[in-house]
Amino acid sequence: MIDAVGRHRGAGMGGGHDEREQTLNQMLVEMDGFAGNENVIVLAATNRLDILDPALLRPGRFDRQITMVYPDVKGRYDILKVHSRNKPLAPDVDLNSIARSTVGFTGADLENLLNEAALLAARKGNKAITSDEVDEATIKVVVGTEKKSHKVSDEDKRLTAYHEAGHAVSAHFLGGQDPVHQVSIIPTGMAGGFTLHTPLEDKMYHSKKKMEEAIVTLLGGRVAEKLIIGDISSGASNDIERATEIARNMVTKYGMSDLLGPITLGSGETEVFLGKDYNTVRNYSEDIAKDIDKEIKRIVTEGFNRCEDILTDHIDKLHKLAAYLIENEKIDAEGFIALMNDEEVDNACDEEDLISSENNSDSADTEIEKNTSEVSNEEKASGSPDETEA
């Protein structure tokens, strides 16, 4: 990675005697073009082109640049073919299907997916990798490893079930979001549960409508806690952070605010350790800063109210899904659609039993502070990988 030694000189930490600047100076001298090194080709890679010293990119040095983006569906299929050469695949494994369902995956992610699937198949004693191992490996790559031995109290289990059900139900009835692939309340990775969406196609742009709907979906967990539990927990902290970040980008980066208009506000990223300055330049006034805060609050609040309306109108679906999750801990796409269509799902517990148990419990008076640290980060997997939105 050339940015390890080639960051912008005179910015951030250190000075002219910084060892990285001395290394960069020597590199620039060797590549100045005065010496005859015609048989030497220098290749370098970076994912932070913006912090490189301009002298590295002038003609005669790294003047030919090739941009490597995330692979499309054809690229993912070709990558999967390469990494599956020496791995026995069962007849039910379709590389085309895997390529379509792994939007946002890099080549390394796809390699890791097949390696994890092979390890899972070996642990089960299978002679070939089946679609079940591929699905389990996909979740492991995106979210993390399931902690099935982790003990979760009934209170936390119920809280997580309604939280995840809020995400899934709000996304389903919005209509414009990626379909729900799986919902789980098993602690996985750093999350106490997750709602996984599968993008249907590669996307280059995000519309204002889609971003507003993403905020609604992210707030589904907090709204469900408020409506059903009667209290709110720290489990929605990451959801709120991501929703606020989307709203801030809509206002300051994408020009999607009717009040402020199509202008960019702020100077973007300013990480001092990655080659930026200590001092940031704010290119707007105090009055504009107040308007930015008001617009961000308006967008997030409207998303919250919209989500509250959706879950209130479909409260029966919320109870059904939470009841199923409490009983079975996870549900796949087919089972989720069946529940939303009021169809029978195997092993589903009675919704009336759950509601009656809620009325007899004093859950509204319990201390939500008992919530585990895993629940506080549970929605890192919610939504599409492209923000993610991966």
The catalytic site residues sit at 164
- Which residue from 232, 241, 224, 255 is spatially nearest to 325, judged by alpha carbons? 224
CB-CB contact of 355 with 317 (8 Å): no
DSSP letters of 343-390? ---TTPPPHHHHHHHHHHS-GGGS-GGG--TTGGGGGGGSB-TTTT--
Give kind and range of the element (H or E) at residue 118.
Answer: helix 107-124
How far apart CA 171 and CA 239 sit, in angstroms, is 14
The burial class, CB within 10 Å (0-12 / 13-18 / 19+), for 19 is exposed
Quick check: helix, strand or coil at residue 146?
A: strand
Could you report how far apart the first and last alpha carbons of the chain are, in Å? 23
Give kind and range of the element (H or E) at residue 330.
Answer: strand 330-332
Amino acid at 353: D
Sheet holding 180-184, edge to edge: 194-197, 180-184, 330-332
Residue with tokens 């599956």: 84
